[in-house]
Amino acid sequence: MLKIGIVGISGRMGHALYDCIVGMDSVKLVCGIDRNVSALPAGCRCEVAADINSLNNLPDVFIDFTRPDCTLSVLPEAAERGIAYVLGTTGFDDSGKEGIKNCAEKIPLVMASNFSVGVNLLLALVKQTAAVMQDADVEIVEAHHRYKVDAPSGTALSLGQAAAAGRGVNLSDVMVAGRSGITGERKYGTIGFSSIRGGDIVGEHSVMFCADGEIVELKHHASSRATFARGALRAAQWLEGKAPGLYDMPAVLGLPR
């Protein structure tokens, strides 16, 4: 039975992961890492500590949907102990991304901006559509709950990267995030981003390909965090026995590149 540890077990995704694990026979929750023990999932009886060094029961794999500062305090310690990692945290700067790559030289690590099976299918469709509709304007709109701290979302950026890859360009060269004031006409070939924050929106992403006379829109709507939790647990099980390295969800799902 695969032993799981949840980083940020008192958070929204921590609760969703806990609820999914309770109903599974093939995995067991053995620990959590969190400083806020007052908001643990109802019925949670596993060991919970403020840091990895205080844990007595270490898992085979950690699942982490927290914030960059938290991840970068736990991940290196996990790597030193040979504990595999499933990482859904977004918003890392270049230094943080480099640190993650270094850790992946020691352990198998699945990193994704979104663990939903549907979103990963959407990424493949966006790349294909961008390659076919070369002259269309691409606009990406994403919506999340009021507590999300980064924008555009990691998933939106991944969708932009998929569109850019379909056209053979670098996203950083064509990205336009948000518009305000007198912006002038749209520059040909750019990929636009808009972010909405409000309420308890779990996650909505739409990619519009706007051509003269027609629009193709590809959209994903998440109504429950359970979809992300199930995908993360699928990734955790897939990691068992894998060699050290940085993996993604297309690898887990066997999707074409």
Task: State whether residue 43 is helix, strand or coil.
Answer: coil
What pLDDT sits at residue 47? 95
- 200 CB contacts (<8 Å, ≥6 apart)? 145, 146
Burial classification of residue 207, based on how many CB atoms lie within 10 Å of its CB (0-12 exposed, 13-18 middle, 19 or more buried): buried
Task: State whether residue 45 is helix, strand or coil.
Answer: coil
What pLDDT sits at residue 255? 86
pLDDT at 257 over 80: no
15 is catalytic: no
Cβ neighbours around 157 below 10 Å, total: 21
What pLDDT sits at residue 183? 93
Distance CA 116, CA 171 (A): 22
Kind of pairing, strands 203-211 and 137-144?
Answer: antiparallel
What pLDDT sits at residue 67? 95
* Given the residues 127, 144, 205, 220, the one annotated as active site: 144
Closest CA to 120 of 62, 149, 162, 152: 162
What pLDDT sits at residue 256? 75
Chain segment 176-213, per-residue pLDDT in tens: 998 999 999 999 999 999 999 999 999 999 999 999 99
Which residue ranges form the domains of the chain, and what is each CATH number?
Answer: 2-111+225-253 (3.40.50.720), 117-222 (3.30.360.10)
pLDDT at 38 over 90: no
Residue-wise over 225-235: b if at least 16 C-beta within 10 A, else e? bebbbbbbbbb
What pLDDT sits at residue 72? 98
What pLDDT sits at residue 20? 94
Closest CA to 102 of 120, 78, 66: 78
What pLDDT sits at residue 51? 95
Average pLDDT rounded to a whole number, residues 109-132:
95
Average pLDDT rounded to a whole number, residues 56-63:
97
Closest CA to 15 of 189, 236, 257, 226: 226
CA torsion, points 208, 211, 212, 217, in degrees to nearest 10? -30
What pLDDT sits at residue 31? 97
What pLDDT sits at residue 14? 96
Chain segment 88-112, per-residue pLDDT in tens: 998 899 999 999 999 999 999 999 9
Six token digits for residue 186? 């749209």
* Given the residues 3, 28, 106, 148, the one annotated as active site: 148
148 is catalytic: yes
Q: What percent of the chain is predicted at pLDDT more than 70? A: 100
Average pLDDT rounded to a whole number, residues 146-175:
96
Contact 234, 224 (CB under 8 A): no
Average pLDDT rounded to a whole number, residues 11-26:
93
Q: From the centroid of its chain, how far is CA 18?
A: 18
* Extended beta strands in the chain, E state: 2-7, 27-33, 47-49, 61-64, 84-87, 108-111, 137-144, 175-177, 191-197, 203-211, 214-222, 245-247
What pLDDT sits at residue 113? 87
Contact 53, 77 (CB under 8 A): yes
